[in-house]
Amino acid sequence: MIEIELNNNKLKNITTMKRTVILMAAVATMMIFGACKSSKPVTPEQRGRVEVDIPCLSESYDDDQYFRAVGTATNMNQQNARTAAYDAAKSMLMKRLGGLAKGLATDYSRTMAGDAQMDKVQRAIEGEITTVIERLVNDSYKTCEKMYQNQAGNYESYIAIRVSKAEIIRQAQSELSKNQELEIEFNRDQFRKFAEKRMKEMQGKQ
């Protein structure tokens, strides 16, 4: 009888241990599930980051017809802020289009001029294109203009401008056709092909 009672006690202890293990596993599973269920994605605002809406940003990207840029400036004087933003946009556009003038002059001179004339032709073409670009940028069309006054009382100006790609080609063709320094016959169609290729490449890299 004593041996039977001991065996029964062992069975009870084993059963109790199994129940305890199962219960602990269930509790752990519930805790893990609850933690996963309650966790939510942390928003940028909760991390102390706030998305900034940039005025006129949609007008800063080139398309098939126009080169574009956006300038911004802050000043205590409203007109000074506006002027500085416009100058910043023009400066940004001139910097980009300066590369166009140099690249286009190189493409044309290497293909159309002989070795003896290449450097002179390149300088003449680059000079003419740069003059055309400067003129068009200074007269550029404003596609977007926003003005804000911040908490400090200063004015924040945003101005977007654009310059016609077709007009750059047209005016450059006109000036180069009259240029006597080229010492070669200017090919308008070939120049247009080089220009359109360069402009397309610039748009793809933006």
Higher pLDDT, 129 or 50: 129
Asked if the structure places residue 151 within a domain, the reply is yes
Query: Domain total for the chain?
Result: 1
Residues 166-170: contacts with CB under 8 Å, at least 24 apart: 166/65, 167/136, 168/67, 168/97, 168/100, 168/129, 168/132, 168/133, 168/136, 168/195, 169/195, 169/196
pLDDT higher than threshold 60 for residue 177: yes
Q: Tell me the average pLDDT across 99-121.
A: 89
| Structure confidence by residue, pLDDT tens digits, 80-95 | 999 999 999 999 999 9
pLDDT higher than threshold 70 for residue 129: yes
Residue span of the structural domain in which 125 resides = 57-201
Q: What's residue 203's pLDDT?
A: 85
| Structure confidence by residue, pLDDT tens digits, 19-31 | 554 445 444 444 4
pLDDT higher than threshold 50 for residue 148: yes
Asked if the structure places residue 142 within a domain, the reply is yes
pLDDT higher than threshold 60 for residue 70: yes
The Cβ-side half-sphere exposure at 142, using a 13 Å CA radius, reads 14
Asked if the structure places residue 139 within a domain, the reply is yes
Six-digit token string for 64: 């098939």
* Mean pLDDT of the residues in the chain: 82
Asked if the structure places residue 13 within a domain, the reply is no
| Percent of the chain at pLDDT exceeding 90 | 59
Six-digit token string for 121: 């032709």
Asked if the structure places residue 43 within a domain, the reply is no
Quote the pTM value: 0.72
Asked if the structure places residue 48 within a domain, the reply is no
Asked if the structure places residue 23 within a domain, the reply is no
Higher pLDDT, 171 or 48: 171
Q: What's residue 2's pLDDT?
A: 44
Asked if the structure places residue 3 within a domain, the reply is no
